[in-house]
Chain A
Amino acid sequence: MSSAAARAVLAGLRDRIRQFDGRAVRDRAVLPFGVPEIDERLPGGGLVLASLHEVCGGGNDAVQGAAAMLFAAGIAARTRGQVLWCLTRPDLFAPALAQAGLAPGRVLYVEAGDEKSLLLCFEEGLRHGGLGAVVAEVARLSMTASRRLQLAAEAGGTLGLAVRRFRSRAEADAFTLPSAAVTRWRVSVRPSVPLPVPGVGRARWLLELTRCRAGEAAEFEVEASDAEGRIAFSPRLADRPAAAGAWRGSASA
């Protein structure tokens, strides 16, 4: 059998498997990061739009969730349409979202009193189908709840981002418990590259893809979201090209 024929057979089989999975063609639309190194690790070449994704902060950020929130804001900024942002603690500073590419006119905030009504609003937003993305800052996300949210995301064709905001460092271990989310990311802050002048450069994150349905775990060192919500790849120091290393040397001197 020629390789072209083999590929056709394989494609047909994949289609049948997807049909078993109950997912329509529309649901396969993805949102690429625009960074080839990350996109090639994700099945389909990006984040699947009609599904639930989980983001958590690493280290101290597990409680504050600032980096995780900006990472989610960057993703939401690159979708089209309105974004619903569900929270329980109103300490989010909206100008930071605007600086991550989410204009204030695009974000609708829901301040839920407790986790239960937060999940209700999250699900309602996903099911509506008219929104670009729904982001929710949740502390607990059980398998049942995440399964419901995943089904709602599939039904509405909306990108769901669960920013896990744990109440204590100890609770952050719960991030290893299973959930129905398609991908799971952990964002930890890294010291930024020193600038040649005094000042603070672009923030750098260690992005760990700890779980990915039909894909493999990976980790990337990236530069934080810019004004359009795009992250940029920054190679690890060891793999850094010689020219960049030379620049760094002179910069820190």
Chain B
Amino acid sequence: MLVGREGTRRVVTAVSRPAEQAGLRVGMPLTKAHALLPDILTLPADPAADAAALERLSLWALQHYAPIVAPDPPDGLVIDTTGADHLHGGEALMLSGLVNRLGASGIIARAAVADTWGAAFAAARFLADPVRVIPPGSAVESVSPLPIHGLRIPPEIVAGLHVLGFSTIGDLLAVPRAPLVLRFGPLLGRRLDQLEGIVREPVDPLRDPERIVARKGFGEPIGAPETIARYTTALVHDLCLALEKRGLGARRLDLIFHRVDNSLQAIRIGTARPVRDEKRLARLLCDRIETIEPGFGIEVMELSATLAEPLVLQQAATSLIEEAPADIAGLVDVIANRIGAARLYRIAPVESDVPERSFQRVAPLAPDAGATWQGQWPRPARLLARPEPIEVMALLPDHPPASFTWRGVRRLVKRADGPERVFGEWWKRDGERAAVRDYFQVEDAVGERFWLFRSGDEVQAAGGLGRWFLHGIFA
């Protein structure tokens, strides 16, 4: 339990989960809390340290997630995901990744995405479990049944509204705005408008004082894509000069557009290795200009290197020795920024006899260990995501099937090879202590080849019992 001061009273400002179950609430006087739980551990609240920690967390989110991030005291972060969610595989994946990473460092977080800051605020606190994506256009319906605490209004107004019988946001949206504003002040009306998206609410982005920034203001707002591209190139040039002075290369660049109507638009790009090549960076940024909505025009463009790392220049080998392999880092960056870095990968072998565990995805520019799969047994070109059960006719227990039926088609087996026995990984998983698969490669009458296996434990395998599955298709 944390205790803070409110005027002359000492009140509870935060409680742990067990204490909450015991009936303690935030805002309760300290004496009452002590009466409920006499031996509770109380610590003084330190709002300044909390704010500093929140700012550190915002900086981390800025470097890893999106270009526009701001702390939302006392306990929130607001992130404008525009132009950045595709790098994390979409909004839902981005949110769950964020919550999981925070959870790993001991922070229990809830997150939501919605059209407006107000809707996302309410959804994150009352709907998210632990994440929630509210589809565009349905923000108001989704948050209507939520309590009015989700409106970012001071507790006195909440109490006053309760007295009048309002309990949900939907109740407030249904009544005329003017009498409410007359009674509770303009803040309530503004919050409701912001929630609905009638009034814009710009996020004042957090800035890292150490990061390298290039900025350009325009006397006359710009809007044409060609103009944006031209100034982007100019900004990249300035930024690269600044990076060169410090011997750095950019890993993550944010281009923020300040629009005339006081809202922000952003582009974020990431690179697999530190880059200081003007052409490449400009190309990556210009690729994404189409996602920018200039509205009535753009006043200021701001390019910053959110993440920069020391750039080690390598001497190119002379062509006298041998032709160096072409550098594909540029291509990797272009594709990763278009469709997301997780969708671009290499496949590396893993020491495992179980086919579906014999490979893993690695980063596209991971050093090549030169390893490949061991063994001479042929492997199918297509591996089904999960083995599909088939019906078979087998003549002898230890023989391949004489015919099998897969997806409603019966096929006669003309030729077969096998069995190749694969044991379960009992040294890793207890459940596979007795698991055995016998793989057969079979060819049917027209020459199509399939990879079948019989699954069971060793006793079943010896007796030819066990169920049959189709796992892959050869050519």
Contact = CB atoms under 8 A, between A and B. Distances in A.
Nearest to A97: B381
Contacts of A121: 335, 338-339
Q: Most chain-B CB neighbours within 10 Å: which of A59, A81, A93, A130? A: A93
Contacts, number: 160
A70 B473 CA distance: 12
Contact of A96 (B326, B379, B445): B379
Interface in B400-439: 414-417
A9 interface: no
B326 A130 contact: yes
Interface in A62-92: 64-71, 81-82, 84, 91-92
A39 to B, nearest CB: 22
Contacts of B327: 130
B71 to A, nearest CB: 33
Contacts of A70: 381, 475
Interface in A93-111: 93-96, 98-99, 103-105, 107-111
A164 to B, nearest CB: 15
B447 interface: yes
Contact of A98 (B330, B343, B373, B414): B373
Contacts of B368: 105
A200 interface: yes
Interface residues of B, number: 52
B382 A64 contact: yes
A95 B439 CA distance: 16
Contacts of A59: 446, 448
Given A96-B379, A190-B447, A199-B415, A112 B475 contact: no
Interface stretch (B102-110, B155-163, B345-353): B345-353
Contact of B414 (A104, A108, A189, A191): A191
Judged by DSSP, the binding face of A is mixed
B474 interface: yes
A203 interface: yes
A110 B343 contact: yes
B343 A94 contact: no
Contact of B332 (A60, A108, A198): A108
A110 B339 contact: yes
A56 to B, nearest CB: 13
Contact of B382 (A91, A99, A110, A189): A91
A112 B339 contact: yes
A61 B448 CA distance: 9
Nearest to A69: B381
Contacts of A65: 382
Judged by DSSP, the binding face of B is mixed
B330 A110 contact: no
Given A93-B379, A93-B383, A200-B449, A104 B346 contact: yes
Given A81-B325, A121-B338, A203 B474 contact: yes
Contact of B475 (A91, A113, A131, A203): A203
A224 interface: yes
A197 to B, nearest CB: 10
A91 B383 contact: yes
B371 A104 contact: yes
B343 A199 contact: no
B99 interface: no
Interface in A105-131: 105, 107-113, 117, 120-121, 124-125, 128-131
A107 B372 CA distance: 12
A83 to B, nearest CB: 11
A109 B441 contact: no
Given A67-B475, A82-B328, A109 B347 contact: yes
B231 interface: no
Contact of A194 (B334, B359, B372, B415): B415
Contacts of A192: 415, 443, 447
B383 A124 contact: no
Given A64-B382, A81-B326, A130-B331, A189 B446 contact: yes
Nearest to A201: B415
Nearest to B365: A108
B31 interface: no
B372 A104 contact: yes
A204 interface: yes
Nearest to A187: B475
A60 B406 CA distance: 13
A125 B346 contact: no
B29 to A, nearest CB: 55
A117 B338 contact: yes
B41 interface: no
B49 interface: no
A95 B359 contact: yes
Contacts of A69: 381-382, 475
Contact of A189 (B345, B355, B370, B449): B449
Given A64-B473, A124-B335, A200-B449, A104 B325 contact: no
B373 A95 contact: yes
Given A112-B339, A203-B475, A99 B378 contact: yes
B475 A189 contact: yes
A203 B414 CA distance: 13
B472 interface: yes
A205 interface: yes
B249 interface: no
B344 A108 contact: yes
B364 interface: yes
Contacts of A60: 448
Q: Most chain-A CB neighbours within 10 Å: which of B349, B383, B414? A: B383
5 contacts: A82-B326, A105-B370, A108-B346, A130-B326, A190-B447
Counting from the closest, the 9 A-B pairs by CB-CB distance are A130-B326, A105-B368, A67-B475, A93-B383, A66-B381, A95-B379, A191-B447, A189-B447, A94-B347
Given A94-B359, A104-B371, 11 more contacts: A67-B381, A95-B373, A98-B372, A99-B378, A113-B343, A131-B326, A195-B415, A198-B416, A199-B416, A200-B417, A203-B475
Interface of B: 325-328, 330-332, 334-335, 338-339, 343-349, 355, 358-359, 364, 368-373, 378-385, 414-417, 441-443, 445-449, 472-475
